[in-house]
Structure 1
Amino acid sequence: MRSLSLVGNTFGCSASGERLVSAARDGDFQEAKALLEYNPGLAKYTTFGGRNSPLHHSAAQGHHEIVSLLIESGVDINVKNYRGQQTALMQACQYGHWEVVLTLVLFKADIHKTDCLNKGTALHLAALNGHSCCIRILLADYIPSIPTFYKHVIKRSRIEEFVSQSNGGYASRTSLYEIINRPADGGVTALHMAALNGHVDSLCLLLDLGASVNEVTLEDGTTIDLIGAGSTPLHYAAYGGNPHCCQVLIARGASLTAENEKGWNPLQVARLWHREWLEEVLNAHQQDRTTPLPSPYLSLPFMSVVKIARECGWTDGSASNCTDPCAVCLENKCTVAASGCQHELCTRCALYLCSTSNMSSAPNAPPGSIPCPLCRHGIVSFKKLTTTKPLFQPPLKHISSLSCCSCSSMPRNNARITHETIPLSNQKPDSHFLGFQKLLSLKVENNLCMRGTDTIASIVRRSHLNRYSRSSFRWSNAQSKGRRSWLCSSNQSLETLNDY
């Protein structure tokens, strides 16, 4: 009889967990909030097939409000699914949901995690699909808010000391150069992926951040490389067929005569794969190494505003009692001031500005500065106002281990279930009403199942709930695309993998 009871409890929690997965996938914030309030342990529910958690589903679909809700409920932000061993940050970068990437980075998600398919990180997936906004958000902790950053990177000088001083040592363990040039399976870097798929904006941004044009692929990878080991990003750009990518790489110092282990230089690769339009660009006698302009996606003030957001928050700041609200959104009170022009903004608008700006810097401004939305002055960093106070952040809720059922947190049979009695009035109640009073104040444990039934089937009705209001973060225009392998098996367009 006890075994039947446990089976019933498993199906009951499974039904609630599937409802949370559906709410996370569909963006139903109100139902997700009600389910988590009823049982916070549901945040760790995973589906039976791919072991995708609600965090994976909401990140893949771009529902950053639900991502924040799940993280605040205590879910492991770096949890991996079963198929592919990907984190929520990887899936958000794969589909270009920069709002989700920003939320995860603000909660200090690990950007160094790799999957089990190609040993790629979130940076590799963002470069593979050309999501430049995601790339700069991922590296926000490694780009110091100093006006001379671009000069240091161009000279290939080390900047770890600036990162350590600017961000309190949070990102000082690994240098920016190592992250940018970290190889995936077969020695393929993020620059190889961007060059292969013709993503010029991502290519320019990676080069401005210190990506090496001389990194070559290796032979010991498990992925079939038709181009050949020892290939540079220019070999991959020649295979991809994008002349602009080839021109940018050549201007940044890529060798036109470098040969891979098959004895092919970039021009020969273009000829073998019938990229005739690249012969003029890859001709060594007509090379033109003009100095390229800095990438418009380089964002210097990002590190400073991220640091302020983590310290003082970025979601709370209503201007209902404020006489001078943010001039951009007119909703929140001002919390930060831009360097130089000293215009005041709220933290959320500053984060949005640093995440989405793709305008070139002013002529007299340092490369990577963001134009001020009020006066067009180049912003290099933000500083918090004297009235901005740090937020007290209570520790996240502890959730016991949960695979497919939340019954693992159920009390044993010999455990005592306590009943909390709260007085309804200051007067001592009569004995006649004592039972009724205790019944009203009875607190039912959240981690109890009702033996095979969905115990909260009527707690929320979707038809009676309005959708969660859209936040001030604007939705990204990136569409959900299937992941494409960066080493294609034919000279046709890259094959699209299924979503996992």
Structure 2
Amino acid sequence: MGNSFRCSASGERLVSAARDGDFVEARMLLDYNPCLAKYSTFGGLNSPLHFAAAKGHSEIVGLLLENGADVNSRNYCGQTALMQACRYGHWEVVQTLLIFRCNVTRADYLSGRTALHFAAVNGHVRCIRLAVADFVPSAPFESVNARTNGDISNTKSKHDQSALSKFVNKAADGGITALHMAALNGYFDCVQLLLDLHADVSTVTFRYGTSMDLIGSTPLHYAVCGGNLKCCQILLARGASRLALNCSGWLPLDIARMCGRHWLEPLLSPNSELTIPVFPHSNYLSLPLMSVLNISREYGLHSSTTTSDEADVCAVCLERACTVAAEGCGHELCVRCALYICLTSNITAELLVPPGSIPCPLCRHGIVTFVKLPGSSIKEIKLPPSLSLCTPCMLHHREQDRSESVGSPDVRKTRSNSASSDILCPLTCSPFASVTIPLCTCNHGHCPNFDSRESDNQEASPRRAESTSNEQEKLDGMRLGKTTCSSMFWSRRSYSREHQCNAEIGMRMA
């Protein structure tokens, strides 16, 4: 991965530039040696792409990818740059990675989590919207007008909805899905969007690998443990059962009593006569996102600024030439503005037909899909071939003799033989490590509001290495002994391992 000792100094400079958002420094280093885009740190195998994605520097992410960085590169935990961007909610970075055709279905080595799990556990609904963009087809305008009901589940056309359902319901370690995570942490917007994307409201966690408290539990059990009333209401409205028993023989009502969620008891009672509100489709559905994302992959990230008087200028940005048109109203936009509108719009679904259509910024007409304008210059993004490894001479490169196996948990054979054995993690990389899910131990009564920033800070909290092993064990014990709502999913072993492998990013983000 380009970790020759002679180029490690330049590689660390690129890491610092990617971490700090220094675009000029990063471009200078990559112009001098494009191989540095494939550099990775010796400890956690984090590449400059991981640092830039975790910090949200989308321009540097694009620069690294254009210079040959592997969009699907993994660190020693098996986490990709897409997972880091979804963890911290940097949807602009997620957009850039998707344009370069990253693999959204990959799971990490520790707990089998995908980017969708990382986005759901921290409540980043726009990242969820992007992660499923290639699974939700943009319906043709004619077929939308011909439909009598507005349910997006009828827009199958050439796409198989089973692929979307399989991805959304993919289980991590212990059988925990993205819906379980969002429900536990009380992120109503994420729960509503996942349910609209065919998340299974009746799925249960595995009968092994979790604590004895919540084995075989449904998302409703998790929502009750989190204590969010609105999450419980929408789950019940979408078909969740109050009479569902987990493997411990507990109803959701029993979970509410044990966790002190007394305000949920009237709603969860088997004989409850409370009226459940009717929830519309999520405001974060985006039907035209797939079409404009595919067009942006053809035009590239940098649309050329128009210089001709004859070219139509985008009426939104007034800078770039129009390259796409909204099917239906026919208004023309540049691909960047169309992509931005699809990602940021969250207009109430009742105003638009069908649900998931995006209002046109010029006439407020519902947009379901975008089409390319004829005669536009297409510049398809072609990923460069894998660059050669760094050699002692930084000005002369040689072709790589053998291809690297992407996604292998082992230390790659191309690394220097003189590297210290300390880079090997003492714990084995099990794709499905054991999970412990204790009941929430938040302070008495109400569970505090779960803020995504707090969850991000907890997962990325810095752990500096101490000089003696006793002090390190003391710090680890203090950290692992405190159970919070954001750390209820994974075992102590996986939780500690992830902090060790991500310590490089965590320290620098403090």
Same fold (TM over 0.5): yes
CA shift, 1:158, in A, is 9.0
Quote the residue 2:196 is aligned against: 208
Which residue in 2 is equivalent to 1:196? 184
| Match in the other structure for 2:281 | 294
Aligned mates of 2:54, 2:42 — CA distance in 1? 18
- Structure 1: give runs of 5+ residues left out of the alignment: 1-8, 165-171, 413-476
Cα distance in 1, alignment partners of residues 177 and 132 from structure 2: 15
Name the CA distance, whole Å, in 2 between partners of 1:397 and 1:142. Answer: 27
Q: Using the alignment, how far apart are the partners of 2:106 and 2:112 within structure 1?
A: 9
| Aligned residue in 1 for 2:218 | 232
Amino acid at match of 2:183: A
> Could you tell me how far apart the structure 2 residues matched to 1:198 and 1:394 are?
41
Counterpart for residue 105 of structure 2: 112
Q: Distance in 2 between matches of 1:493 and 1:42?
A: 39
In 2, are the aligned partners of 1:29 and 1:65 still within 8 Å (CA)? yes
Whether 1:494 and 2:486 are equivalent positions in the alignment is yes
* CA offset digits 1:105-138 (Å, max 9, x no partner): 1111001111122111000110111111001111
Instruction: Say whether residues 1:163 and 2:159 are aligned partners.
Output: yes
Shift of residue 307 of structure 1? 1.4
Change over 3 Å in CA distance of 1:393–1:211 after alignment to 2: closer
1:309 and 2:301 aligned: no
Instruction: Report SS of the residue matched to 2:214.
Output: coil
2:42 aligned residue:
48
More divergent stretch after superposition (321-330 vs 370-379): 321-330
Instruction: Say yes or no: does 1:31 pair with 2:25.
Output: yes
* Structure 2 contact 123–452 (Cα < 8 Å) conserved: no
TM-score with structure 2 setting the length: 0.75
Look up the match of 1:398: 386
Match of residue 247 from structure 2? 261
Identity of aligned residues (%): 51
The Cα shift of 1:30 comes to 1.1
Deviation of residue 479 (structure 1)?
Answer: 5.2
Give the distance between the partners of 2:62 and 2:84, measured in 1 at CA. 16
Q: Which residue of 2 aligns with 1:129?
A: 122
Compared with structure 1, are the counterparts of its residues 116 and 362 closer, same or farther at alpha carbon in structure 2 (3 Å cutoff)? same
> Which sections of structure 2, spanning at least 5 residues, go unmatched?
399-450, 461-479, 489-494, 504-510
Contact 1:145 1:381 in 2 (8 A): yes
Kept in 2: contact 1:42–1:406 (CA 8 A): no
- State the AA in 1 paired with 2:219: P
1:281 counterpart (255, 267, 276): 267
1:370 partnered with 2:358: yes
Distance 1:406 1:334 in 2: 47
Distance in 2 (alpha carbons) for counterparts of 1:210 and 1:92: 24
Q: What CA distance in whole angstroms lies between the structure 2 residues aligned with 1:489 and 1:285?
A: 39
Change (3 A) 1:112 1:81: same
Alignment partners' CA distance in 2, 1:266 and 1:15? 56
Tell me the CA shift for residue 410 of structure 1.
Answer: 5.8
Give the deviation of 1:406 after TM superposition.
6.9
Q: State the Cα distance separating 1:401 from its structure 2 match.
A: 4.2
Label 1:184 to 1:10 Cα distance change in 2 as closer, same or farther (>3 A): closer
After superposing the two structures, state which structure 1 stretch, 275-284 or 224-233, moved more: 224-233
- Against the structure 1 CA distance between its residues 218 and 401, is the aligned structure 2 distance closer, same or farther, given a 3 Å change threshold? farther
Q: Distance in 2 between matches of 1:139 and 1:363?
A: 23
TM-score by length of 1: 0.76
Shift in CA distance, 393/203, structure 1 to aligned 2, threshold 3 Å: closer
| Aligned 8 A contact 1:94 1:483 in 2 | no
1:69 aligns with 2:63: yes
Deviations, residues 463-483 of structure 1 (Å, cap 9, x unaligned): xxxxxxxxxxxxxx9859236
Q: How well do the aligned residues superpose, as a CA RMSD in angstroms? A: 2.8
Does the CA contact (< 8 Å) of 2:242 and 2:252 recur in 1? yes
SS of residue in 2 equivalent to 1:337: strand
The structural deviation recorded for 1:85 is: 1.4
- Asked which structure has the greater CA Rg, the reply is 1
1:143 CA drift (Å): 0.6
Equivalent residue pairs, number: 410
Equivalent in 70, 74, 91 of residue 84 of structure 2: 91
Distance, in Å, in 1 between the alignment partners of 2:152 and 2:353 is 17
